Structure 1
Amino acid sequence: MLIRPTTVADLPELFRLRAQTRENALGPEYLATLGITPATAAASLVNGDTRGWLCEVDGRIVGFASGDRTSGEMLVLAVLPDFEGRGIGRRLLNEVVAWLQVCDCPRIWLTANPDPSGRAYGFYRRCGWAPTGEASGNDEVLAYGVRQPRNAV
């Protein structure tokens, strides 16, 4: 298992992988409606606003994550279904969080499905993320390193 920084050359494969996740799979066509394309991702990567890491197993990209230093947002974490449960997601998440911390982001945050039966719900909470009470569309906003009151749901 190799964790390494994402390069522009990796982007086409990352867009293919993003469409193959078990939950919240988003294809290139849908991402384009949000303004997220290989070209916009490359420009942001080159100018340093975003940075990402990926995981390779036997030369195959099996997961990736990226964040945006201008907003403090954890943009994406995606792992192929056959590679879930191996610690890949946590390692990738930790890389992005560490970078955002070095960038002195005042708040490190992400959006995720609020459904407790979804994988993201428990995963992010176990990794130190807490709900902020904010919403973004149908997703909840979680912040990293925010203490959750003991009686919080």
Structure 2
Amino acid sequence: MTYREAKFQDIQQIQFVRNSVKENILSNPGLVTDEDCNQYLFNRGKGWVCEINTKIIGFAIADLVNNNIWALFLHPEFEGRGIGKTLHNLMLNWYFEQNKEDVWLGTAPNTRAEQFYIKMGWRKNGIHGKEVRFELTKTEWSNLNK
């Protein structure tokens, strides 16, 4: 298992993973285009992937423009192995190294993702659209990593 920064050539496999999930399913897979991925990975922020034998099984993308987590997804066959936590930590360590103070994300209520973010120390702070909004400050992240 290898963790590394995402490359342009990874976008097709990232899209495959994104569209394989059982929760937080896109109502229309065409809503997130390859160009969207390209923009978030290389112009707005940065992303990381986890791969096994060159097959991407999970990814995470932070957006510095909107100060949020744009994506953190695993192929369902690989859930529960700590991969999401590792991707999460790589992403947040980088995010807060950029001198950012706060970060937020939204996820569907009553999902495993919601429970994951609670376990990782995120604070619920209302609703964003139809999603639960979570926030985390740089100080909170530092305290979680002591």
- TM-score band by shorter chain is 0.7 to 0.9
1:81 equivalent to 2:73? Answer: no
Note if contact 1:112-1:139 (Cα within 8 Å) is conserved in structure 2: yes
Query: Cα distance, 1:5 vs. partner?
Result: 0.4
Query: Cα distance, 1:63 vs. partner?
Result: 0.4
Equivalent of 1:45 in 23, 41, 48: 41
Who is 1:94 aligned against? 89
Equivalent of 1:67 in 62, 73, 84: 62
1:138 equivalent to 2:130? Answer: yes
Who is 1:57 aligned against? 52
- The 1:44–1:74 alpha-carbon spacing in structure 2 relative to 1, beyond 3 Å, is closer
Note if contact 1:52-1:96 (Cα within 8 Å) is conserved in structure 2: yes
Provide the aligned length of Structure 1 versus Structure 2.
Answer: 139
Query: What is the Cα-based RMSD across aligned positions, in Å?
Result: 1.8
Q: Deviations over 1:22-75 (max 9, x none)?
A: 211337xx2543xx311232134333x220000001221100010101222011
Note if contact 2:67-2:102 (Cα within 8 Å) is conserved in structure 1: yes
Structure 1, unmatched stretches of 5+, are: 148-153
Q: Normalised by the size of structure 2, how large is the TM-score?
A: 0.86
Higher helix share: 2
Q: Distance in 2 between matches of 1:98 and 1:31?
A: 29
Structure 2, unmatched stretches of 5+, are: 141-146
Structure with greater Cα Rg: 1
Following TM superposition, the consecutive aligned residue runs of length 4 or more in structure 1 with deviations greater than 6 angstroms are none
Note if contact 1:71-1:105 (Cα within 8 Å) is conserved in structure 2: no
One-letter code of the match for 2:13? E
Q: Normalised by the size of structure 1, how large is the TM-score?
A: 0.82
Who is 1:151 aligned against? none
